[in-house]
Amino acid sequence: MQHIQANEPFYQISQAAKLLGITSDRLRTYEEEGLIKPFRTKHSKDGKRLFSQNDIEWLTMIRDLIKLGVSIPTIRILLIAKFPTNNLTLKEKDLEIIELLKKLKSHAVYSSIFK
């Protein structure tokens, strides 16, 4: 049995949405907002979206930020911004957000979106 690589496009949009506990429309919104660039097949006119395991991990962190109350435009700004990460006056929720942002910035998907 062949093992699928973490960066190999594998999951169709409906499968990825189910794994993430969100709708396919939400995934399309993330793509439109520039938070993810799924692989597109060349089989059809528009190409099917395929997501890798790396994409799923990335989107899980995006979803978690949104659950913490961070808006999509704010996530985009934070991902390209430089900010201090060791401020002791930050609230616990802020620290969670910063930790998730650190993980996002060091994730393999980051460089394919924010070059």
Sign of CA dihedral 85, 89, 92, 94: negative
- Token pair 């709708």 is found at 23
- How far does Cα 89 stand from its chain's mean position? 28
Residue 1 is predicted with a pLDDT of 55
Structure confidence at residue 22 as a pLDDT band (50, 70, 90): very high
What is the mean pLDDT of the segment spanning 75-100? 74
Residue 84 or 20, more confident: 20
pLDDT at residue 89 tops 60:
no
